[in-house]
Structure 1
């Protein structure tokens, strides 16, 4: 079993019952996606005001919707290409909103280190996802790597809740750049160096 399979099984186990209940209400997967994004914006605002614990809890709650939208799509049979695109776009915007809120939180300190680290972490997380999208657009497998969105969410959530935000950002940054290397190497191998 691969790491991606393990992630998928955990996510489905967490959302299975609720997705079937929501499917009976008629709620669409895209609605779940948008609601999750809006809750992430609330989390970002809370983080930017300095309430890391509350912001972290709201952020983790919003991240549950990211697993739930796909589960609702499967439960209702409403898996669409547009839904996948909407989900991917709002995932990127959600991550950006959280990292930007952390930059706003650290900005008054006038200390370049947390700002630089957060900016690099934002860039790394976006590039991990971008390489996957470009690889898959070229017919390649693009999911390789040790540190993808679910891991970033968990580590960042723990960092926010515990107040160990700088170590969490450092871990996310380092492992995101390792994942970038893994995905680039995989794409190179799949393309035969062409």
Structure 2
């Protein structure tokens, strides 16, 4: 949903930087891998230790690499099938590390078991949302859209963890349970979209 409203404005910022990197011989795949490694490392290092605010800032920095690699592919005028698979795989890895690390903190030093449960729901539901789309596209069907896609999941999770790190009470709890409910809803939306897309062929 956010993509419809914000991507044009975000692209205006990242497109020039993407062209600059391409001109210097940097590849989109390299940026994808660097961003993923940085996100995973920051998540598993900072968040379980309770350094939520610093961790949020570092993770946000590396998450931005996901936007830059797309801008670089557009600057080159083409993308590759391997690059698309690598990008999607790295997205799942980074998302899994983020929500697993939040659950680790909540079930450990954070002592917030319900928040840990919500983070695990977000982890599973978010993976299912992405899986339904990938599986549908592989079958020649459509499963686009939904209430919360990857951008929304990251924003809600990182805003919640950042505010929690600043001492705002219940910030992460509200963010995780809101996101858990929205992710489950989105999973249902995509299943319905696949069913509707398959209906003409079944008929």
TM surpasses 0.5: yes
Name whichever of 64-73 and 8-17 sits farther off: 8-17
- Alignment check: 8 A CA contact 2:144 2:193 kept: no
Q: Cα deviations across residues 83-131 of structure 1 (Å, max 9, x unaligned)?
A: 0100100100101111111122122256532221111110011011001
**Whole-Å Cα distance in 2 between the matches of residues 13 and 182 of structure 1?**
31
Structure 1 segments unaligned to the other structure (5+ residues): none
- Alignment check: 8 A CA contact 1:155 1:168 kept: yes
Number of equivalences: 193
**Aligned-pair RMSD on alpha carbons?**
1.7
Name whichever of 28-37 and 157-166 sits farther off: 157-166
Change (3 A) 1:107 1:60: same
- Alignment check: 8 A CA contact 1:19 1:68 kept: yes
Name 1:141's counterpart in structure 2. 142
Q: Cα offset for 1:6?
A: 3.1
Corresponding residue SS for 2:8: helix
- Alignment check: 8 A CA contact 1:92 1:126 kept: yes
- Alignment check: 8 A CA contact 1:29 1:78 kept: no
Name 1:192's counterpart in structure 2. 199
Q: TM-score, normalised by structure 1?
A: 0.92
**Whole-Å Cα distance in 1 between the matches of residues 87 and 58 of structure 2?**
19
**Whole-Å Cα distance in 1 between the matches of residues 89 and 131 of structure 2?**
11
Q: Cα offset for 1:19?
A: 0.5
